[in-house]
């Protein structure tokens, strides 16, 4: 599909394209072989992550211990 770049370097994504990949407010932009690639990024809000951790019974101490363990050099 054809889209036009504006003087402000903006493009409008065609509705059919957005529908095929799902709506997203943010896109990761990369260049590959001279092509601009847009990949939808769906950000999770910090509150949702905290709620999930609480639901799983994971405490701040658990997270700190996991980070300390992961940073250990063998």
Count of CB atoms within 10 A of residue 58's CB? 13
Which distant-in-sequence residues (6+ apart) come within 8 Å of 27 by Cβ? 38, 39, 40, 41
DSSP H helical segments within the chain, as ranges?
15-21, 46-55, 60-71
pTM for this structure?
A: 0.54
pLDDT of 12-26, one tens digit each? 999 999 999 988 889
Tell me the CATH number of domain 1-43, given options 2.30.30, 3.40.50, 1.10.20, 2.10.260: 2.10.260
**pLDDT, position 5:** 94
Domain residue extents for the chain: 1-43, 44-74
Q: For each of the chain's 74 residues, which pLDDT tens digit applies?
A: 899 999 999 999 999 999 999 888 899 999 999 999 999 988 778 888 888 899 999 999 999 999 999 999 76
């Amino acid at each position: 599909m054809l889209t036009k770049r504006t003087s402000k370097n903006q493009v409008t994504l065609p509705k059919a394209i957005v529908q095929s990949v799902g709506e997203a407010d943010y896109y990761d932009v990369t260049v590959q072989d001279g092509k601009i690639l847009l990949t939808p990024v769906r950000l999770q809000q910090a509150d949702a992550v905290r709620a999930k951790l609480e639901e799983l019974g994971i405490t701040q101490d658990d997270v700190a211990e996991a980070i300390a363990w992961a940073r250990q050099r063998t």
